[in-house]
């Protein structure tokens, strides 16, 4: 079932082969996996190596130990593997343009959901964020960047789709690494971006989905031009 682990990367090799076995359905969610001794024999490694790999898989919530019963593939294993792979992919040197294209697609739908599902009271939360942006005036600092990011996070929460929120947070995490670039842009461009938030909110309050989507796309393209410079 398994290949002898490569001696130069024993721990990672074992880990990846077990993940592969779960992905391919050789070990299904809820299924009991062999014990440390049996796995050590199959991989031809020490029990300590197996123990470390299983510990990592447990932290990742791919497997779970049940007292007096053994170790089992978790019911949520496949979703956890998918989340891990997405995180790893986003941490690589992926194209900012590709990320922005996905973000535009996702945030356009988030705007539509927010208009369909949000209440006037929830839209007030967005207004308070814009008011906070304005309080910083023309100051550019790490502190002043926070409310500008909050606008998008709260909008996603109002949309009411938890998966979209998590996915957007993963994408935005990559842009956060570029955050300091925003501190170098001209103040006039900051004014433009703040005005764009207000235009988006105006369309949301009016429950004009198409108008809000157009304004959101313009806003995100402005941001893309910032990080691409």
Angstrom distance (rounded) from CA 86 to CA 96: 15
Nearest CA to 126 out of 221, 192, 220, 202 is that of 202
pLDDT digits (tens, 9 = 90+) for 26-75: 999 999 999 999 999 999 999 998 998 898 888 888 899 998 899 999 99
Which is more confidently placed, 46 or 94?
46
Q: If residue 73 lies in a helix (H) or strand (E), which one and from where to where?
A: strand 70-73
pLDDT of the residue at 159: 94
Domain 7-77: CATH class, spelled out:
mainly alpha
Angstrom distance (rounded) from CA 207 to CA 158: 14
| Residue 97, token pair as written in the block | 């343009």
CATH code for residues 93-228:
1.20.120.530
DSSP per-residue codes, 129-169 = HHHHHHHTTT--SHHHHHHHHHHHHHHHHHHT-HHHHHHHH
pLDDT band at 95 (very low <50, low <70, confident <90, very high): low
pLDDT digits (tens, 9 = 90+) for 147-206: 567 888 899 999 998 888 877 777 766 555 555 555 566 667 777 878 899 999 999 999
Q: Tokens 């409310």 belong to which residue?
A: 147
The residue-averaged pLDDT of 89-99 equals 63
pLDDT of the residue at 59: 83
| Residue 165, token pair as written in the block | 């929120």
Q: For the chain, what are the domain ranges?
A: 7-77, 93-228
pTM of the model: 0.56
| Residue 55, token pair as written in the block | 């510990």
The SS3 assignment for 198 reads helix
pLDDT of the residue at 150: 81
Angstrom distance (rounded) from CA 10 to CA 49: 7
Angstrom distance (rounded) from CA 83 to CA 86: 5
Task: Kindly give, in sequence order, each residue whose CB lies less than 8 Å from that of residue 94, ignoring residues fewer than 6 positions away.
Answer: 174
The SS3 assignment for 186 reads coil
């Amino acid at each position: 079932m398994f290949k002898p682990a490569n001696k130069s990367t024993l721990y990672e090799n074992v880990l990846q082969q077990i993940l592969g076995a779960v992905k391919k359905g050789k070990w299904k969610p809820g299924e009991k996996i062999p014990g440390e001794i049996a796995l050590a024999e199959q991989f031809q490694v020490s029990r300590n190596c197996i123990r470390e790999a299983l510990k990592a898989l447990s932290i990742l919530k791919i497997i779970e130990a049940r007292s007096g019963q053994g170790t089992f593939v978790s019911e949520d294993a496949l979703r956890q593997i998918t989340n891990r792979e997405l995180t790893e992919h986003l941490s690589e040197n992926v194209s900012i343009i590709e990320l922005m294209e996905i973000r535009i697609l996702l945030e356009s739908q988030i705007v539509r959901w927010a208009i369909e599902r949000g209440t006037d009271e929830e839209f007030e939360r967005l207004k308070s964020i814009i008011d906070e942006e304005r309080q910083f005036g023309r100051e550019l600092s790490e502190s002043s960047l926070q409310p500008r990011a909050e606008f998008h996070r709260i909008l996603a929460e109002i949309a009411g789709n938890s998966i979209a929120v998590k996915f957007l947070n993963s994408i935005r995490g990559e842009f956060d690494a570029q955050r300091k670039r925003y501190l170098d842009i001209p103040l006039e461009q900051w004014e433009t971006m703040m005005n764009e938030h207000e235009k988006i909110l105006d369309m949301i309050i009016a429950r004009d989905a198409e108008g809000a989507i157009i304004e959101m796309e313009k806003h995100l393209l402005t941001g893309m031009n910032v990080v691409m410079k």
